[in-house]
């Protein structure tokens, strides 16, 4: 349920941003985004997925930026469906662990809770690095991709 709600809310914000914010935003910063837009339009799925998997990018930005940059709906939805899974899983795991600690008839062991959550937080931090490594490994040298 939380995964579906997350994806649905992301799509709603994307559609609203694409309709409402694009004109005003482009008028202010459009000339500064030319290089970013070129790269983004060439590989929308990878860019959106990288934004989704990089914990430092606020969730709202991962919904609005692709709309402003002219993303198509299909890459946005695919990247969102994939990109929110780790976070939904992590928050579900964290909630389950916190609930177990709070449901116990003893004083909460914050140290144990932190130890249980550490691998999840480490995995979340590693996701963007893994995504960049995969992208780098799959990227062909420029000489191979140039038209002949």
Q: Which residue has the tokens 């969730």?
A: 59
Contact status, residue 101 vs residue 108, Cβ threshold 8 Å? yes
Lookup result for tokens 């709603």: 12
Mean pLDDT of the chain: 80
**How far apart (Å, rounded) are the C-alpha atoms in residues 123 and 129?**
10
pLDDT at 23 > cutoff 70: yes
Using 50, 70 and 90 to split pLDDT, how confident is the model at 56? confident
- The tokens of 26 are what? 């482009």
User: pLDDT tens digits for 29-49?
Assistant: 777 777 788 888 888 988 898
pTM passes above 0.85: no
Check residue 145 and give its pLDDT: 52
Note the pLDDT of residue 74.
94
Provide the H-helix boundaries in the chain: 2-20, 22-29, 34-42, 44-53, 59-68, 73-83, 85-103, 110-138, 142-145
On whether the CB atoms of residues 87 and 124 are closer than 8 A, the answer is: yes
With a cut of 80, say whether residue 3 has pLDDT above it. yes
């Amino acid at each position: 349920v939380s995964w579906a709600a997350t994806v649905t809310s992301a799509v709603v914000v994307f559609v609203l941003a694409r309709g409402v914010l694009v004109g005003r935003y482009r008028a202010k910063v459009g000339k500064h985004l030319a290089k970013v837009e070129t790269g983004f339009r060439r590989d929308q799925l990878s860019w959106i997925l990288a934004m989704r998997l990089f914990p430092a990018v606020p969730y709202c930005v991962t919904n609005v930026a692709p709309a402003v940059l002219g993303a198509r709906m299909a890459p946005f939805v695919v990247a969102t469906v994939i990109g929110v899974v780790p976070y939904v899983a992590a928050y579900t795991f964290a909630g389950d662990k916190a609930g177990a600690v709070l449901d116990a008839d003893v004083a909460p062991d914050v140290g144990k809770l932190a130890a249980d959550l550490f691998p999840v937080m480490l995995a979340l931090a590693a996701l963007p690095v893994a995504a960049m490594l995969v992208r780098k490994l799959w990227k062909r040298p420029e000489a191979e991709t140039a038209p002949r």
